[in-house]
Structure 1
Amino acid sequence: MQYYNQNTLIYLNGEFVKAHGAVVDLFGQSLHYGYGAFEGLRSYSTHNGTRIFKAEEHFERLEKSCNAINLPYSWNNRMLIEKTYELLAANNLRSAYIRPLVFSGSNMHLMTSTDANIMIAAWEWGPYLGQNLLKVNISSIERPNPKSFRVDAKISGQYINSIMATSEAINNGFDEALLLDQDGCVAQASSENIFIEKDFKIYTPPLENIFPGITRQTVIDICKDLNFEIIEKKLTIDDVYQADSAFLSGTAAEIIGVKQVDHVIYKEHWENTIGASIQRKYKNLVLEQENYEVII
Structure 2
Amino acid sequence: MQYYNQNTLVYLNDEFVKANQAGVDLFGQSLHYGYGAFEGLRAYNTHNGTRIFKAEAHFERLRKSCEALRLPYTWDNRTLIEKTYELLEANNLRAAYIRPLVFSGSNMHLTSSDQANIMIAAWEWGPYLGQNLLRVNISSIERPNAKSFPIEAKASGQYINSILATSDAQRHGFDEALLLDQEGFVAQASSENIFIEKDFKIFTPPLENVFPGITRQTVINICKELGFDIIEKKLTVQDIYTADSAFLSGTAAEIIGIKQVDHVTYKEEWEHSIGASIQRKYKNLVLEQENYEVII
TM tier relative to shorter chain: over 0.9
Hey, what does 1:8 align to over in structure 2? 8
Mapping 1:64-213, distance limit 5 Å: 64-213=64-213
- Distance, in Å, in 1 between the alignment partners of 2:24 and 2:14 is 16
Q: Runs of 4+ in structure 1 displaced over 6 angstroms?
A: none
How big is the shift at 1:24? 1.0
- SS of residue in 1 equivalent to 2:113: coil
Provide the aligned C-alpha RMSD in A: 0.7
SS at match of 2:158: helix
Counterpart position of 1:62: 62
Match of 1:281 in 2: 281
Per-residue deviation, residues 62-116 of structure 1 (Å, max 9, x unmatched): 0000000100000000000000000000000011000000000000000000010
Shift of 1:290: 1.1
Q: Deviations over 1:251-293 (max 9, x none)?
A: 000000000100000000000000000000000000000179x
Show structure 1 runs of 5+ residues with no match: none
- Indicate the residue corresponding to 1:235 in structure 2: 235
Q: Does 1:246 align with 2:246?
A: yes
- Cα distance per residue 1:136-170 (max 9 Å; x no partner): 00000000000000111000000000000000000
Q: Distance in 2 between matches of 1:52 and 1:192?
A: 19
Aligned equivalents of 1:18, 1:95: Cα separation in 2:
20
TM-score, length-normalised on structure 2? 0.98
Q: Secondary structure at the match of 1:149?
A: coil
Alignment-mate amino acid for residue 100 of structure 1: P
Equivalences for residues 48-59 of structure 1 within 5 A = 48-59=48-59
- SS at 1:2's partner residue? coil
Q: Hey, what does 2:265 align to over in structure 1?
A: 265
Counterpart amino acid of 2:99?
A: R
CA distance in 1, matches of 2:22, 2:67: 26
TM-score normalised according to structure 1 size: 0.98
Alpha-carbon separation, structure 2, partners of 1:291 and 1:160: 42
In 2, Cα distance between equivalents of 1:197 and 1:160: 30
> Match of 1:53, as an amino acid?
F
